[in-house]
């Protein structure tokens, strides 16, 4: 238990509640290891602050007795350390999750947290590329000096991001065997899987890469490789996009993830159902997908007229 105290900055009884909370998140919500690490780090920062704020490592009674002012002091401290609203809101969400678990499990209840408002987050919408620009980027046929197999590799990766709406981590985690199946079974955030159809242009791009790749690719090994034979790093694709921004006069928002935004926005603009797009993107909540309606207000108005034709 001493390790838990050191990790979370909490008294033994409160630390055991934090450990049980993380275990519940892992088993019940199947959160990814990185997400669990981030949550543990959030509680550790909160605990460390409370040690200074209260003068001792807080136990369950001290956590139950916290006031709204105590939580606001924590947020003010994090603000002074340069934390932005979005990151602070995420950290407060982790803290609320911890306190909700403690209440459900009967360990302690803190009513004051319910009156603490989350930081306001400036509203932003995705910035997709125009269709012509997205297609040009996905082709990856901009730089003459690149080796043919490297150009084919880059085109296959970028095509999967745009034509299938994959995250860059999802595309680079594909094995040779997975990439040869249609539809794809994609492992997304939190270990959740989804089914994504592979359109012909993506199939062709993968086939061209496999044909030109000089490396021996075993079926259960990563599909995409670097020039030295190891698994392809996301940074290589990020740097490629930076080069393309200059070559094609694209905005700074043209990142690998912008191709996923473009996939969703262009589907919506061409009449795809929002629920279908949600499934293809792997969003747990429709609200995450609805943000694309703001990108294409014209489509939203058309759907409104259909629903309320009278």
For 171-226, write each residue's pLDDT tens digit: 999 999 998 888 888 888 767 888 999 999 999 999 999 999 999 899 999 999 99
Neighbours of 88 (CB within 10 A): 18
Q: Is 211 a catalytic residue?
A: no
Q: How far is CA 207 from CA 85, 120, 148, 179, 227, in A?
A: 44, 47, 13, 9, 18
For 56-115, write each residue's pLDDT tens digit: 999 999 999 999 999 999 999 999 998 888 888 889 999 999 999 999 999 999 999 988
Q: Is 260 a catalytic residue?
A: yes
Q: Is 257 a catalytic residue?
A: yes
Catalytic residue among 151, 167, 266, 299: 167
Alpha carbons 76 and 239: distance in angstroms, whole number = 36
The structure's pTM equals 0.65
Average pLDDT over residues 155-162: 94
pLDDT score, position 163: 92
Q: Is 167 a catalytic residue?
A: yes
Neighbours of 173 (CB within 10 A): 17
pLDDT(258) > 50: yes
8-state DSSP, 164:
S
Instruction: Please give the domain boundaries of the chain with CATH numbers for all domains.
Output: 2-115 (1.10.150.130), 131-307 (1.10.443.10)
Q: Is 261 a catalytic residue?
A: no
Residue (of 25, 232, 264, 38) closest to 134 by Cα position? 264
Residue 167 pLDDT grade (very low, low, confident, very high; cuts 50, 70, 90):
very high
Catalytic residue among 78, 153, 194, 260: 260
Contact (Cβ atoms closer than 8 angstroms) between residue 67 and residue 112 = yes
């Amino acid at each position: 238990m001493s390790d838990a105290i050191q990790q979370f900055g909490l008294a033994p009884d409160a630390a055991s509640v934090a450990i049980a909370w993380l275990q519940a998140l892992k088993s019940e919500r199947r959160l990814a290891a990185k997400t669990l690490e981030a949550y543990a780090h959030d509680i550790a920062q909160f605990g460390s602050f409370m040690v200074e704020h209260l003068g001792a490592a807080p136990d369950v009674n001290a956590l139950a007795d916290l006031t709204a002012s105590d939580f606001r002091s924590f947020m003010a401290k994090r603000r002074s350390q340069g934390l932005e609203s979005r990151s602070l809101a995420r950290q407060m969400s982790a803290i609320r999750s911890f306190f909700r678990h403690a209440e459900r499990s009967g360990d302690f209840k803190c009513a004051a947290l319910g009156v603490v408002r989350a930081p306001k987050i400036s509203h932003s919408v995705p910035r997709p590329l125009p269709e012509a620009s997205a297609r040009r980027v996905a082709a990856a046929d901009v730089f003459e000096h690149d080796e043919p197999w490297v150009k084919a590799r880059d085109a296959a990766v970028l095509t999967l991001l745009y034509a299938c709406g994959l995250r860059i981590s999802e595309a680079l985690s594909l094995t040779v065997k997975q990439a040869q199946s249609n539809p794809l079974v994609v492992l997304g955030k939190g270990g959740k899987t989804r089914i994504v159809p592979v359109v012909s242009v993506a199939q062709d791009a993968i086939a061209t890469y496999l044909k030109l790749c000089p490396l021996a690719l075993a079926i259960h090994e990563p599909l995409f490789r670097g020039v030295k034979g190891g698994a392809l790093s996301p940074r290589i694709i990020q740097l490629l996009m930076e080069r393309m921004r200059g070559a094609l006069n694209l905005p700074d928002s043209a990142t690998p993830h912008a191709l996923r935004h473009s996939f969703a926005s262009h589907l919506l603009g061409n009449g795809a159902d929002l629920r279908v797009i949600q499934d293809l993107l792997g969003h747990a909540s429709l609200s995450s997908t609805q943000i694309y309606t703001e990108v294409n207000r014209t489509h939203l108005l058309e759907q409104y007229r259909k629903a309320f034709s009278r």
